[in-house]
Amino acid sequence: MTTLFIADLHLSDNEPAITAGFLVFLQREAVHADALYILGDLFEFWIGDDDPNELHDTVARALAELHDKGIPCYFIHGNRDFLIGKDFAKRSKMVLLPEECVIDVYGQKVLIMHGDTLCTDDPGYLRFRRYIRNPIIQKIFLSLPLFLRQKIAGKLRRQSKRSNRTKSSLMMDVNPLAVIKALKDHQVIHMIHGHTHRPAIHDMTIGGRLSQRAVLGAWHDNGSVLRVNPDDQIELASFPL
């Protein structure tokens, strides 16, 4: 019995080996799991469920197949694929979860999220986030023709690459106070997130209680998965793609 957590695959046409590795992961490992949680940034970018990209179809089919074999898959949006909507959820048979969510994993309450909202030392990003997460702005964006959305997204991605070069690595990590606040707000001591690409299991003491925060790794040269089993054993593993 195992529940699996992954994030930050950043699937795109430019990285076919990661997609191939993901499909193998679904067939070899996820089929034996109780559930699969994808905590955001499954895709490198997302400009609407109506994007006729073949990659989306391949991934939707593979996830739907997993569902048909009895393994439920849950998804929390990342900062890149936040526009994944009901249509893709239906095609992939994934359940879309809210951005912060307390789940029960073998009797333990665990807070799961993508993790970008914990990076409170990057006000530039949070401003950008507030803007593009505005439902009205999203509605307008989604009403644009596909070629325009592609053009805007390409431009934003190039700008972001440029601005990330000037950001310090501390700024791109989670803020410890934001972590404590999130745990307090949800009344939990366990948390799993991705986004920072700094895979680790952090032990902390909060109010005299031992607390754990697992950070999922990004998929680059290797895949990354967190395995949780009923004996409360958690294992952060990296595997070749």
Query: Is position 19 an interface residue for Mn ion (rule: CB under 5 A)?
Result: no
Query: Is position 132 an interface residue for ligand OKV (rule: CB under 6 A)?
Result: yes
The Cα-based distances of 109 to 75, 205, 230 in angstroms read 18, 17, 12
Residue 67 annotated as binding site:
no
Q: Which of 58, 108, 120, 138 binds ligand OKV (CB under 6 A)?
A: 138
What strands lie across the sheet with 73-75, from one edge to the other?
A: 95-96, 73-75, 35-38, 3-6, 222-228, 234-240
Query: Is position 141 an interface residue for ligand OKV (rule: CB under 6 A)?
Result: yes
Binding-site string for ligand OKV from residue 46 to residue 85, where x marks contact by CB under 6 A and - marks none: xx-------------------------------xx--x--
Residue 8 annotated as binding site:
yes
The partner in contact with residue 141, picked from ligand OKV, Mn ion, none with C-beta cut-offs of 5 to 8 angstroms by kind, is ligand OKV
Q: Which of 25, 36, 37, 41 binds Mn ion (CB under 5 A)?
A: 41
Is the separation of the CB atoms in 74 and 36 below 8 Å?
yes
Binding-site string for Mn ion from residue 79 to residue 108, where x marks contact by CB under 5 A and - marks none: x-----------------------------
* Joined tokens for residue 84: 């994944």
Residue 77 annotated as binding site:
no
Which H or E element spans position 61?
helix 54-68
C-alpha torsion sign, points 72, 219, 237, 180? negative
- Closest approach of Mn ion to the CB of residue 80, in Å: 6
CB burial class (10 A; 0-12, 13-18, 19+) of residue 219? buried
Q: Which is nearer to ligand OKV, 20 or 152 (CB)?
A: 152
Q: What contacts 185, CB < 8 A, 6 or more positions away?
A: none
Distance from CA of residue 32 to its chain's centroid? 21
Site for ligand OKV, rule CB under 6 A: 45-47, 79-80, 83, 125, 132, 137-138, 141, 152-153, 156-157, 160
Per the annotation, binding residues for Mn(2+) are 8, 10, 41, 79, 114, 195, 197
